[in-house]
Amino acid sequence: MTMRRASSGGRIDRTRTVRFTFDGKAYTGHAGDTLASALMAAGVSVFARSFKYHRPRGVFACGPDEPNALVTLISEGVREPNVQATLVEIFDGLDAESQNRFPSLGFDIGAVNGLAGPLISAGFYYKTFMGPVVGSIRGTRAWMLAEKAIRRAAGLGRAGHAPDPARYERVNAFCDTLVVGSGPAGLVAAESAAAAGGRVILADLDATMGGSAKWSSAMIDGRPAAEWAAGRVAALEAMPNVRLLPRTTVWGYYDGNTLAATERVSDHKSSRAKGEPRQRSWTIRAGAAVLATGAQERPIVFPGNDRPGVMLAGAALRHAGEFAVLPAGPVVIFTNNDSAYTAAAGLAEAGAEIAAIVDVRPETSDAARALADKAGGELLTGHAIVHTHGGKALSSVSVRRFTLESGTFSGETRRIEAGCLAVSGGWSPMIHLASQAGGKPAWSETLQAFLPPEPTQDWTAVGAADGTFRLADIVTGAEAPELDPAPAPCLEIASPGKAFVDFQHDVTADDVRLAHREGFASVEHLKRYTTLGMATDQGRTSNIPGMAILAAATGRTIAETGTTRFRPPFSPVSIAAIAADRHGDLRPERRTPLHDWHVERGAIMQPAGLWFRPRIYGDPGETVEQAYVREAKAVRERVGIVDVSTLGKIAVQGPDAAAFLDRVYTNMFSTLKVGRARYGLMLREDGFAYDDGTTWRLSETDFLMTTTTANAGRVMQNLEYWLDTAWPDLRVALTSVTDQWAGAAVAGPKSREVLAACVTGTGLDDDALPFMGIVHGEIAGVPVMICRLSFSGELAYEVYCGAGHGRHVWEALMEAGEPHHIVPYGLEALGTLRIEKGHVTATEIDGRTTARDLHLDWMLSGKKPFIGSALMDREALLAPDRLGLVGLVSLDGRALTAGAHIVERGDREARDSIGHVTAVCFSPALGKYVGLALIRGGKARIGSRAHLSDPLRDRFGPVEIVSHHFFDPDGSRMHG
């Protein structure tokens, strides 16, 4: 087909010329044009090559229904494939490319596939690649050989690799009424909802509101429909309670009347303002939804129905009415219903030459006949198109007399010259959103279409979306011909030749019948076997004809054949729009009050959950191992300081706080004196170890619980869960105070001297501050709380102050430590010190270990029940061959690897594992590479030898199994 621009008419701005390129060639169009309309106006007829047979294809539909004219848009180096040219608004600098062709649209060597048609019919992949062994080649092997070539030859556009620099955002909206679609029905609904005073959102996927009124020739209130619509839109725009969302596709209907939409904010612009997103994802929570989504026209399936120049009648009318793009040659109309007569008259009025109207029905209504008279040309009722002719553009059609009831032909075949064949198979209400909302669509035999289901959420469908096609039934004051909305039940003209059902996946009517012959009688199986309706358009134009053909083949009705249900999205949505502002910012970051100090000090920061913690503070030229060994050594020999602000901290307050802690910890807390701390262990309800930490009693009714950094959130949730569900009678308040406190652990033989140099207002000797004691004082004028406890095994103190004062106190501690060459230490040294002491962390409390496995059974109180006590003594949890905590010493002088398995024999064969390594380090205190491990039998193996087996990292070697207390087992240093 060749199209041309009419000299007048359309809703484009002829005063503005827009320059763009398609396949590298420069074109111009007008503001208001789509890529499809501008290219058609410039005489382009072939837009794409088809998926399988590489047949030339032109524009077939308009708006979101277009199956053929898919293009790739290139912007800022980013390729966006499979975009419908009928939806792209042109702008200066737009760069588009056709798809699935080599070397060009005009000459595509892939078209040779057309000759192999019978070989690549329905089920090609199943038959070829899942079939039996042929010679040495099995089906799946054949697939591996052929995949690359097939993927290149078949398919859609190619995505790029360049990162998208555009911004996408997400926004939440709330309204009393969401109206989807701004055609006459939507405008009427929005106006009435807005007049009632509620908040109204009116969304439409087009750039300008008005829907079908924009190209309709009907009159409303004595004015052309387009003028009427523009007036209504302006009135709505002026209302403060109405928000208009043009260029916004509402694509998902979810529970709770929540709808998802994507607004194309700047896709149509040459450049974006600062902060302006390319697309915006809307989550709309609507009190009620009005679905005014209109209807889509269906094709009739007949041989040669995919030739460029064949298009839907409504699309031809819209292109003429909205964009002033007309068929250059004579137009033949082919229809099974009255609506195409409106198209014929409208096209004629716009300046097209109507050669003939071919109607499969023997008779037509008077109103349609009047329109045919207006359109001019021959009226051939009781006829059908049996083939089309031409190369890459339609030149003529073949017509024969046709009997609707029997589907048979008679008489001679006649050729009629045509540049455009405008087809109408009737209209299907756009029930996508209604179907997504829940419920089974209802088949209407009269309309030959599915109607919206009974609502299960608060929505109503109006206008064509509800099967109401007469404008006078939608808007009062509308004048339009009284046409019969019921089409003849005829969606296929069965005649020899390739007749396409699904244009996007190149599925023919014969493919559908073949699938039926091969046993696929259900529409769901048909879809999967032939891929009918499974392309990017999700069968927009093909589902109903496909079902009609299958129904005819099986001798059933369409209603019996199956029901089409719809899932979101209504049309493709870019992943970028869904990710929106989380792109590159997948999760938030938590920073301790000392974060900037660590960074300024040159610490290598390491993620720990959402937190960032110093790994090492390396000196120039130091390796990580050298750095942590130096840091750990400083702690053992002098004094070090580490940021412990990330430890989970939970305020447990209330008259029943002590009783609550007795229930959640394995050991007793009600006996803890005010001003003292105690190490506590929690189990899960199933008796496994869960988390540990110290809890400080600040007053009779105030406790400060600390948890591991990793488990803080989960412990908090668990405690709240138990409080809310199991013990609502306990008067206990839980509050996360992790962020309230900055914490610094000062550890090492000189730690008391460091504190003594800067702490005022409290004594620090053993009497004032014994092991596990808590005192309050000041450092540099800031109140601090100090607890004498140790994770390193050295004499150590944890100093807590208000987070905002954290850096002030930390710097005062550093200054006080200067005479003792205090060293800040990171996670590696922290880990080294704890491994040397055999303290457990999350790598040992891994959800599979019990208190006994970790030698923490001394903490299991026998005097009270606690969470986990009922199930912790199950037989399997007491078995002697459970994995138990031990220490490991490397015997070959090389580092151990965390996660490695321990085996009994020293070769490289795969052996039964007797356990695994949980943590490793070089121990400066021992001068050896050591580690902690969970080994079958645990302590019983102490003193024996085994072997490290880590084939992934190629690390094998002998180890000695020792006690997990490597260093200072009697704790004399920390008590010292």
Partner 1 sequence: MAEPLSPLGDAWRPGSHGNFRDGTGVTLTETRPGSIVQVTAWPDTDDAVRAAIRDSVTLDLPAMPGSGVAGEALSGFGIGPGRYLLAGSTEGLETKLRAAIAPETGAVTDLSHGRAAFRIQGESAEWVLSKLFALDFAEAAFPLGHGRATQHHHDITALIQRTAPDGFDLYFFRSFARSFWHALCRACEDVGYEVR
**Which residues form the interface with partner 1 (CB under 8 A)?**
169-174, 199, 273-277, 283, 285, 581-582, 585, 587-593, 595-596, 610-611, 651, 653-655, 700-701, 728, 731, 733, 735-742, 780-782, 802-808
CB of 218 to partner 1, least distance (A): 38
Which of residues 404 and 737 has its CB atom nearest to partner 1 in the complex?
737
Q: Is the dihedral of CA 104, 109, 111, 113 positive or negative?
A: negative
Whether residue 249 contacts residue 65, with contact meaning beta carbons closer than 8 Å, is answered with no
Which of residues 595 and 752 has its CB atom nearest to partner 1 in the complex?
595
CB of 273 to partner 1, least distance (A): 5
Which of residues 477 and 804 has its CB atom nearest to partner 1 in the complex?
804
Instruction: State how beta strands 689-699 and 702-707 pair.
Output: antiparallel
Which of residues 276 and 685 has its CB atom nearest to partner 1 in the complex?
276
Which of residues 223 and 582 has its CB atom nearest to partner 1 in the complex?
582
CB of 275 to partner 1, least distance (A): 3
Which of residues 199 and 678 has its CB atom nearest to partner 1 in the complex?
199
CB of 727 to partner 1, least distance (A): 12
| Of 291, 84, 104, the residue nearest 181 (C-alpha) | 291
3-state class (DSSP) for residue 792: coil
Respond yes or no on whether the N-terminal peptide bond of residue 569 is cis (omega within 30° of 0): yes
Whether residue 691 contacts residue 856, with contact meaning beta carbons closer than 8 Å, is answered with no
Which of residues 744 and 851 has its CB atom nearest to partner 1 in the complex?
744
C-alpha 429: how far from chain center: 28
Distance CA 910, CA 721 (A): 44
At residue 365, what are phi and psi to the nearest 5 degrees? Answer: -70, 160
CB of 584 to partner 1, least distance (A): 11
Which of residues 18 and 245 has its CB atom nearest to partner 1 in the complex?
245
CA dist 494 → 216, 380, 552 (Å): 33, 19, 11
CB of 495 to partner 1, least distance (A): 56
Which of residues 109 and 171 has its CB atom nearest to partner 1 in the complex?
171
CB of 773 to partner 1, least distance (A): 22
CB of 457 to partner 1, least distance (A): 18
Which of residues 171 and 624 has its CB atom nearest to partner 1 in the complex?
171
CB of 961 to partner 1, least distance (A): 40
Q: Which residues pair with 250 in a beta bridge?
A: 261
CB of 664 to partner 1, least distance (A): 17
Which of residues 367 and 780 has its CB atom nearest to partner 1 in the complex?
780
CB of 812 to partner 1, least distance (A): 10
CB of 595 to partner 1, least distance (A): 8
| Of 692, 808, 814, 687, the residue nearest 746 (C-alpha) | 814
Distance CA 901, CA 448 (A): 67
CB of 758 to partner 1, least distance (A): 14
Instruction: State how beta strands 331-335 and 354-359 pair.
Output: parallel
Residues in the chain: 976
Please name the residues in contact with 672: beta carbons below 8 A apart, sequence gap of 6 or more. Answer: 658, 678, 695, 697
User: Which secondary structure element, helix H or strand E, spans residue 75, and what is its range?
Assistant: strand 70-75
CA dist 729 → 140, 726, 732, 866 (Å): 64, 9, 9, 17
Angle (CA) 311 422 6, round 5°: 85
Which of residues 257 and 468 has its CB atom nearest to partner 1 in the complex?
257
Distance CA 357, CA 376 (A): 9
Which of residues 664 and 903 has its CB atom nearest to partner 1 in the complex?
664
Distance CA 296, CA 854 (A): 68
Distance CA 655, CA 669 (A): 14
The string over 28-65, giving b where at least 16 C-beta atoms fall within 10 Å of a residue's C-beta and e elsewhere, is ebbbbbbbbbbbbbbebbbbbbbbbbbbbbbbbbbbbb
